[in-house]
Amino acid sequence: MGQVELMNISKSYDKQKNVLNEINLSIEEGEFFVLVGPSGSGKSTLLRMIAGLEDITAGTLKISDQVVNHLPPKDRNLSMVFQNYALYPHLTVEQNILFGLRAKKVQKEEQQLRLTETAAMLGLSSLLKRKPKELSGGQRQRVALARSIVSHSPLCLMDEPLSNLDAKLRANMRVEIRRLQKKLGLTMVYVTHDQVEAMTMGDRIMVLNDGKIQQVGKPITLYNEPANVFVASFIGSPKMNMGKANFSSDMKQLVIEHEPHIDIDPATVSKRLKEASITIGIRAEHIFPGTPDNTTHHVEVVNVEHLGNETTIAFEIASDLWTAKWPGQWAINVGDNVPVSITGEYLCFFDTESGDLIRPAMAGKSQEVIAI
C-alpha cells in the first residue's frame, strides 16, 4: 500500500503555459521521497495534485495501483501536513488530533486508543487539553504530525512543514519525522525548498525546476553526479564552484576564462569533451589547502567564515566567486594570499550550451564513501 505512480502528469491554468510538464515518477512503498526545488518550481502544486486538492490537466495518477484522477481527497487514503499546520484555534490538542477520525465516524474506543499511542509517541500526552495558542511552534508541528499519524493512512504528504521553525528545532524535527516514518512504515512525500532537508531526510530526491524534472536519485548520487548545472548548483552547501573553461592546444591544461590553469591528463579527455563548450565544476571540499608539494594556485581571500569545526574561504576565479571548505580552524583573514590545490581529477564537466553533465569527477565520489 502507498505506492504512487505519476504518468505524463501536466498542470496548466486557463490553458496557459504548463506549471508542470509531463511528470513521470514512481514512488515506492515505504519510501521517504523528497520533492525539492526553488520557489515557483511546481513542487507544492504536484503535492496538491497527489492529495486531490488540485485538478490534473493531463496524465494519470495512481495510488496503490488505483487510478485516482477524479477521486476526492477523502477517498485517497492519505494524510497531509501543511506548512501552516492548519490547526483549529478553538479546539484543544486532543480535539485537533481526533478531528479526522470523528469525521470518519471511527469508534470512540478506537479513537482513544490511537490518541493515547500517538500522543505518547510524540510527547504530547501532557498537552492534550491545551489550545494551539498555548503551544510553541515545535509543539504545534507535533500536533499536526499526530493528526496525520492517527489516521493510519499508508501515504503521508508534507508541504514544507518545518519552514516556520527556528534552526535548532528544524534539526530536531527532521530526526523525529524520519524516525517516525521508518517506525510506522509510511510512504512519505515531502516538499521542501531547503536542500539540506532534502539531503538529510530523503531515501530519494526529485529536483524540480520550472515544472520539469531535473534529476531523481539518492542524495549522494545527486551530490556526486549531478545531471546538469542546475542540480550541481542547487544541491550541496556551499554550492558547487562553476566556471567556463577550454582546453589548451596540447590538451594538458584547462584554462578558466583566460585566467587560472588546471593541469589535466590528456588521456582522460574524451572526444565529446574536446568538441563541447565546457563548464567545469568542483566541490568546495575538493579545493585543498596548499602545501610545498601540492600547491597549484595562490588566491586572495575575499571572505572567511570560521565555523569552529570547519573554515570556509571565498576567493575570485575569473569573474566568479569560489568557495573552499577546510576541516578545522584556520588563522586566515580577508586579504590574505593563500596557497590552494585544484586538480583535474576532482572536476565535473558540463556542456555549457545544454547544461548537461558530460563527465562526473573521477575522484572524491562514491568509491570514497566509507562503509561501516
Bridge partners for 36 per DSSP = 192, 207
Q: Say which DSSP state 356 is in.
A: B
Q: What grid cell was written down for 332?
A: 586566515
Task: Render pLDDT for 158-208 as a digit per residue (tens, 0 to 9).
Answer: 998 888 778 887 888 888 889 888 988 899 999 998 888 999 999 999 999
CATH 2.40.50.140 positions along the chain are 239-368
Bridge partners for 349 per DSSP = 280, 359
Give the fold, CATH level 3, of 239-368: OB fold (Dihydrolipoamide Acetyltransferase, E2P) (2.40.50)
Helix (H, G, I), strand (E, B) or coil at 43: helix
Q: In the block, which residue shows the cell 583566460?
A: 258
Quick one: what percent of the chain has pLDDT higher than 90? 59
Distance, CA of 151 to CA of 30 (rounded, Å): 16
**Tell me, what amino acid is at 309?**
N
Indicate the pTM of the whole model: 0.88
Task: Render pLDDT for 292-324 as a digit per residue (tens, 0 to 9).
Answer: 999 999 999 999 999 999 999 999 987 789 999
CATH 3.40.50.300 positions along the chain are 4-224
Domain 4-224, CATH: 3.40.50.300
